[in-house]
A and B are shown apart, each in its own frame.
Chain A
Amino acid sequence: MLFLLTMVMAAQQPSLPDHYRGPNDLGPYKIALGTPLRDLFRILGQPPNADAKYFCYRSRDGEAFLWFEVRAHDPGRTGDLLVSTFPNCRGEPVQVTRARIGKWRTRAGIGLGSPQSAIVGAYGAPVQRWQIQSNNPAIVHNQTGFPNPGPGWRLREWGYESNEDLRFAHFGLRGARVVLILIGNNE
C-alpha cells in the first residue's frame, strides 16, 4: 500500500460530539443512506463497468475530479464521495464527464474554492483537524482514505463527524481555500 503520505494528527484527539452537524449533501449527492448509484450515473455518464466498487470522473475542463465508492451494506448506493481540484483516482479508469462537478456545492453553498471562513460560518468549528503532507509523486487516492495531492503539497483537513452516526465530511484546505471535499455515510 502507498503509505508515502505523511499525516500528522492533532496533538490531542478531541472527543466527538453526539450529533453530526456537517453537510448533508454535495451537488446531487445526498448523504442520507447514500444516493443511488444509478442516479449519479445518469448525471455523470455510465461507467464502463457499473459493477465496479469504485468510480472515477474528471470534468471536461480538467479542473475538478470525482471519486466515489459503493456503500458497504447497500451495493446499489454510494458510500464515500470525494471531489477535489487534483486527480484522486487509485487506478480506476477515469471518465470525462459533462457534469460540472467543480460547481457542486453543499446546501450551505460550500464547494471547491470556497473560503475556510464559509465552512466555519456554515457548520461551526471542525471536530477534527489534520495536517497532510505528501512526498509521493504519484497522484492517487491514498489507501488511508485521504487523497494525495502530489509532491510538495500540504493540506489542512477539517473533519465533521459524531459518535453514533456514520455521516462525516472532510474539507481539505490549501491556503484558505477548499480544494477537497470528502463526504460520506458508510460503514
Chain B
Amino acid sequence: MGANRDFDLLKLAGLEDWVDNPPPPPLESAPPGPPLAELHTSIAGNKTTFRSWTPKEGYQEISIPTRVVVDRRYAASHPGAGVPYETSAIQGVSDRHAGKTPYGPAGAFIDTGDPRGRDIHGGGSGVADPFAPEQSWRATDGCTRGKNEDIERLGRAITAFQNAYPGVAIPYRRTAH
C-alpha cells in the first residue's frame, strides 16, 4: 500500500515517469475457484448465455437467441417490465406453467428468481404454434422469450449443473448490451 501512495504523490508532482509503476495492491481474498456458473441475457444482443466452469469439464458456454420485446401498453403501465435486472440465484427449470399457451411445453421455462416474475420461457399466446420446437416470436409482459427447443436445451445444461453442484448458486443478469 505504501508503494502505491508514494507513486500517487509522484503523479501529483508530475514525476511518475521517473519511477517504475508499482504493482497493483494484492487482492484482499483470492477469486473463488470452480465450480462457477452464471446466466446472462443481453437485451440488445438478443441472446441468453449460460456459462459454467467446473473442475471436471472446464469452461463451457451455451448461448441461445432470445428476445425482450415488451408489449408497449403493458410497459407503459408497468414501469420496469422490460429493463435490465439481476438476481443472486436462479431457481432453474420449472414446470409450473408447462402446457400453458403463454409459456410453452414442459422444460421451456426458466425461473430466474426475479420477484417480479420476469423469467425466461417459450410459448406465446396467439401464435399458431406455441408448443412447436421453433414457435413464432411473440412479445411478452416483461419476460425474456426464446424458442421452445432452445430454452429446453439451455434448461438441461442448467439442471445438469445444479444437480452436480447443488450448493452453488447461479446468478442471473439481464443487461442492456
Given A9-B128, A144-B130, A144-B131, A166 and B74 touching (CB < 8 A)? Answer: yes
Residues A163 and B128 in contact in the complex (CB < 8 Å), given A80-B101, A143-B99: no
A161 CB-CB contact with B under 8 Å: yes
1/0 per residue, CB under 8 A from A, across B125-157: the answer is: 111111110001011111100000000000000
- Most A Cβ at <10 Å: residue of B99, B101, B132: B101
* Alpha-carbon separation in the docked complex, A145 to B138 (Å): 14
A→B interface (CB under 8 Å): 1, 7, 9, 13, 32-33, 53, 69, 72-73, 79-80, 128, 130, 143-146, 159, 161, 163-166, 168, 170, 182, 184-187
Which residue of A13, A32, A165, A182 is within 8 Å of B136 (Cβ)?
Answer: A13
Residue numbers in B under 8 Å from A144 (CB-CB): 128-132
Nearest residue (CB) in B for A74 is B141
Contact, CB under 8 Å: A33 / B77: yes
B128→A1 contact, CB < 8 A: no
Residues of A within 8 A of B61 (CB): none
Binding site for A on B (CB under 8 A): 69-74, 77, 97, 99-103, 105, 117, 124-132, 136, 138-143
Task: Tell me whether B74 and A33 are in contact (CB under 8 A).
Answer: yes
Pair count A-B, CB < 8 A = 87
A178 and B136 alpha carbons, distance in the complex (Å): 25
By a CB distance below 8 angstroms, the chain B residues around A166 are 71, 74, 125-126, 138-141
Shortest C-beta distance, A154 to chain B (Å), equals 16
B69 close to A1 (CB less than 8 A): no
A80 nearest CB neighbor, chain B only: B125
Q: Which residue of B lies closest to A183 (CB)?
A: B126
A186 and B125 in contact (CB under 8 A), knowing A144-B131, A166-B138?
yes
- Are B125's CB and A79's CB within 8 A? yes
Complex: chain B residue closest to A170, CB-CB: B126
Contact A72–B141 (Cβ < 8 Å): yes
Chain B residue nearest to A19 (CB atoms) is B72
The docked-state distance in angstroms from the alpha carbon of A186 to that of B100 is 11
B141 engages A187 (CB within 8 Å)? yes
A79 to B77, CA, bound (A): 17
A/B interface sample: 22 pairs, CB < 8 A: A7-B128, A7-B129, A53-B100, A72-B100, A73-B141, A80-B101, A80-B125, A130-B128, A143-B131, A144-B131, A145-B125, A145-B127, A145-B128, A159-B126, A163-B69, A163-B139, A164-B71, A164-B139, A184-B125, A187-B102, A187-B138, A187-B143
